[in-house]
Amino acid sequence: MPLSRQQKASEILHKNIRCHKSVFPLCDVFLINSHGNPNEMLDLICSVQFIEMAQRYQDKVALVTGGSKGIGKGIVTVFVQHGAKVCFCARDEDVGKKLEKELNEKYPGSSFFVKCDVAKEEDIIFILGIQKVVNSTVAKFGEIDCLVNNAGRHPPDQKIDDISAAELRSLYDTNVVSYFLFAKYALPSLRKTKGNIINLSSLVGSMGQPNAVPYVSTKGAIIAMTKAMAIDEAVNGVRVNCISPGNVWTPMWSKLANEAIDTNKATIDGAEAQLMGRYGSMEESGNLALYIAAEATFTTGVDFLLTGGAELSYGRKTRVQAQMPSTL
């Protein structure tokens, strides 16, 4: 039995372009502008112009580190939603393979997962002793258009007196050295495609955070490295930018809140730190990364703040007893 116009429209939405309201809000426009008429709805959906608009990074190749959860997952998801071919790596193979399957079944782009511990140089080059992260991406997709350095960790609160040099070096391996190495190995391909690098830092890299000297220093290093790399790679046509999130609700943030003395207070305080009174989302993180990769083509060496205004205005910041001003 031939499909009705309405059934055909539904098939195009869900199978061909796999449009989803969270990805492309104009799905609602179909219903409004067509007044529910299946013929008019199909004409709108079949528009080539619509299909092109729906996929803002179609057939581009991205490599995302730490892409199985948190902000990295948000970036991988949005890129695949918009037609990109994404290789992402992380330590947890079960979680990574599950995400790969979900994305490939649901969205128009494609993804594949590679197990990797970014704290070890040999694991960045050799995955499970066989695959190489960068080279396997190029072998599978032919090139790299965008590298997103995202893998990182945030230790529990610690005073400097209790932090060893070994702990500091370990954190730098994960949060900074891995960024350097992935950029080093991906740049030969990125120079050919005139691609771009997006490094994930943090708002605290420029404004500080209590009881987090190692973490804050790694994030400041990422911002500085981004600017230096942008200068060097401009001659090769490679853009290098940075995203510094404020409080984005991720498994890492949830873990930090659960480790606090008062989890509920820590969670509320985190939301109230933003002028907008809420946490950012993983999807919003992905949307900003997509904009930088796909549209911010005259932008390099910039630290994009994804903070809900957390850095603005005065606050109660004193760490000592406040003093009244002296009489003039």
Pick from 304, 279, 281, 272: nearest CA to 291: 304
Residues in the chain: 328
pLDDT score of 130 more than 50 = no
Q: Is 185 a catalytic residue?
A: no
Pick from 105, 61, 108, 66: nearest CA to 85: 61
Span 166-225, pLDDT tens digits:
999 999 999 999 899 899 999 999 999 999 999 999 999 999 999 999 999 999 999 999
50: left (phi over 0), alpha (psi -120 to 50) or beta: alpha
More confident residue, 18 or 305: 305
Contacts for 38 with CB less than 8 Å, ≥ 6 apart: 4, 5, 6, 9
More confident residue, 136 or 220: 220
Q: Could you tell me the two tokens for 235?
A: 């001659």
Domain 56-306 falls in which CATH fold? Rossmann fold (3.40.50)
Would you place residue 317 in the very low, low, confident or very high pLDDT band (cuts 50, 70, 90)? confident
Which part of the chain is CATH 3.40.50.720?
A: 56-306
pLDDT for position 253: 85
More confident residue, 146 or 173: 146
More confident residue, 30 or 152: 152
47: left (phi over 0), alpha (psi -120 to 50) or beta: beta
Which of 215, 279, 291, 314 is the catalytic position?
215
Asked if residues 207 and 219 have their Cβ atoms less than 8 Å apart, the reply is: no
pLDDT score of 48 more than 90 = no
Which range, of 238-242, 280-284, 318-322, averages the lowest pLDDT? 318-322
Asked if residues 82 and 146 have their Cβ atoms less than 8 Å apart, the reply is: no
pLDDT for position 311: 94
Q: What is the DSSP letter of 161?
A: G
pLDDT score of 53 more than 70 = no
CA 79 to chain centre: 9
